[in-house]
């Protein structure tokens, strides 16, 4: 029992540290990638190849002057970014990072918890994050910040509907399970879900861009629109929490998409590779290789997020809402209807 508790503490700290580390170095990778796309030199002064730049940026945030407006609600002003950061970190609890492995003769799960309502947990936690943004904008007692928070919350709620319907179609394809690990394991024996849900994946991906407030869906916080959006009055590390949570959400969104549609830690001909290496189920090397494959998929998705940001211009707000309600919502309903028909006849299809 004590060993189990210690293990759970270790994996909690590991997932927490991984989320923070990936978010920190995603800022560096974004600056490097944008420099590559724009044919210029990215950050290269802080440490070799600029590898210490995220630490320098974090230190800058800590040492900036902290300003809390006198007319603000101070408790809620602090609660807003704290809630956004907390919900961003909580989403990693149900992600299966690798296959189970034996450690010291006991089989351990490479996941903080495998609850049978994992998808509902994800959507519940993400929905709470909307409150952090709304609270932050309202507590600032700034009309521009309030307008930015209203834009952000309406955008996130609107795109959650299409995303939720796309996930319902995925659940039907996966036999009704809400467990992320079961969804990943089902793709080990057969096709990845992208084969059965190509339209659902496109809808989910576009909604993920909107949920994370990434360009071209970054209207709630773009300076050209509303000064600085919902975090106009924030400074120092409280501003850093808002910005940092965006990169954690991008990391988790990439992990969820890789798990839902691309098999997570599974990859083509994995079993043949393990057999050739003489590895049995439960081997630590299988877990390590699977984690490497999973992380590669996550890195590719994060890079696509960044590529889109530095390629496409942002939408007008009416275009953004039209896309969510008039295009993605009908498409998600169409995808759900197609999924029901395909699943009805799927048992009669032979390959």
Confidence at residue 223, expressed as pLDDT on a 0 to 100 scale: 59
- Give the span between the Cα atoms of 156 and 129, in whole angstroms: 10
> Does 146 fall in a domain?
yes
In whole angstroms, how far apart are CA 134 and each of 10, 24, 215, 324?
34, 25, 20, 20
- Give the span between the Cα atoms of 162 and 43, in whole angstroms: 38
Length of the chain: 351
> Does 24 fall in a domain?
yes
Closest CA to 259 of 111, 85, 124, 84: 111
CB contact at 8 A, 270 and 290: yes
Which contacts (CB < 8 Å, 24+ apart) does range 62-67 have? 62/236, 62/237, 62/240, 64/235, 64/236, 64/237, 65/235, 65/236, 66/235, 66/236, 66/237, 66/238, 67/233, 67/235, 67/236
Q: How far does Cα 329 stand from its chain's mean position? A: 21
Confidence at residue 351, expressed as pLDDT on a 0 to 100 scale: 46
Residue 341, classed as helix, strand or coil, is: helix
- Rounded to the nearest 5 percent, the helix, strand and coil shares of the chain are 70, 0, 25
The domain of 191 spans 2-346
CB contact at 8 A, 47 and 53: yes
Q: Is residue 103 within a helix (H) or strand (E), and if so which, with residue range?
A: strand 101-103
Q: Is residue 226 within a helix (H) or strand (E), and if so which, with residue range?
A: helix 223-226
Contact partners, residue 165, CB within 8 Å, separation at least 6: 203, 329, 332, 333, 335, 336
- Give the span between the Cα atoms of 87 and 98, in whole angstroms: 23
Confidence at residue 54, expressed as pLDDT on a 0 to 100 scale: 92
What burial class does residue 20 get, using C-beta atoms within 10 Å of its C-beta: 0-12 exposed, 13-18 middle, 19+ buried?
Answer: middle
CB contact at 8 A, 212 and 87: no
> Does 51 fall in a domain?
yes
- Note down pLDDT in tens along the chain; length 351 residues: 787 788 889 999 999 999 999 999 999 999 999 999 999 988 888 888 899 999 999 888 888 888 899 989 999 999 999 999 999 999 999 999 999 888 777 888 899 998 889 999 999 998 898 899 999 999 999 888 888 888 888 898 899 999 999 999 999 999 889 999 999 999 987 789 999 999 999 999 999 999 888 888 887 666 566 567 788 899 888 989 998 999 999 999 999 999 999 999 999 888 889 989 988 888 899 999 999 999 999 999 999 999 999 998 888 888 999 999 999 999 999 999 999 998 888 765 554
In whole angstroms, how far apart are CA 89 and each of 21, 106, 169?
12, 28, 26
> Does 266 fall in a domain?
yes
Q: Is residue 14 within a helix (H) or strand (E), and if so which, with residue range?
A: helix 2-37
> Does 351 fall in a domain?
no
Sign of CA dihedral 297, 302, 306, 312: positive
End-to-end, the C-alpha distance of the chain in Å comes to 47
- Give the span between the Cα atoms of 133 and 219, in whole angstroms: 14
CB contact at 8 A, 300 and 288: no
- Give the span between the Cα atoms of 43 and 283, in whole angstroms: 40
Q: What is the pTM of this model?
A: 0.93
> Does 336 fall in a domain?
yes
Domain count, the chain: 1
């Amino acid at each position: 029992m004590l060993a189990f508790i210690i293990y759970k503490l270790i994996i909690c700290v590991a997932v927490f540290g991984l989320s923070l580390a990936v978010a920190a170095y995603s800022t560096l990778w974004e600056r490097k990638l944008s420099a590559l796309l724009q044919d210029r030199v990215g950050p290269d002064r802080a440490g070799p190849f600029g590898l210490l730049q995220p630490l320098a940026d974090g230190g800058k945030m800590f040492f900036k002057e902290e300003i809390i407006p006198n007319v603000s609600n101070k408790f809620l002003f602090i609660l807003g970014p704290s809630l956004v950061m907390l919900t961003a970190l909580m989403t990693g609890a149900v992600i299966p990072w690798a296959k189970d492995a034996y450690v010291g003769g006991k089989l351990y799960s490479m996941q903080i918890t495998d609850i049978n309502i994992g998808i509902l947990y994800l959507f519940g936690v993400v929905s709470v994050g909307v409150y952090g943004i709304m609270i932050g904008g309202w507590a600032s007692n700034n009309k521009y910040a309030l307008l930015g928070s209203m834009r952000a919350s309406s955008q996130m709620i609107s795109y959650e509907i299409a995303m939720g319907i796309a996930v319902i179609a995925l659940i039907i394809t996966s036999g009704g399970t809400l467990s992320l690990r079961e969804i990943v394991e089902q793709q080990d024996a057969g096709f990845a879900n992208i084969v059965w849900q190509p339209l659902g994946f496109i809808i989910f991906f576009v909604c993920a861009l909107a949920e994370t407030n990434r360009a071209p869906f970054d209207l709630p916080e773009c300076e050209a629109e509303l000064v600085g959006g919902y975090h106009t009055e924030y400074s120092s590390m409280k501003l850093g929490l808002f910005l940092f949570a965006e990169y954690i959400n991008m990391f988790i969104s990439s992990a969820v998409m890789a798990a839902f549609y691309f098999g997570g830690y599974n990859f083509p001909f994995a079993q043949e590779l393990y057999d050739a290496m003489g590895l049995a189920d439960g081997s630590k090397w299988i877990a390590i290789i699977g984690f490497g494959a999973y992380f590669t998929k996550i890195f590719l998705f994060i890079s696509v997020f960044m590529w889109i940001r530095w390629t496409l211009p942002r939408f007008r707000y009416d275009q953004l809402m039209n896309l969510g309600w008039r295009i993605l919502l009908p498409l998600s309903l169409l995808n759900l209807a197609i999924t029901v028909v395909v699943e009805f006849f799927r048992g009669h299809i032979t390959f």
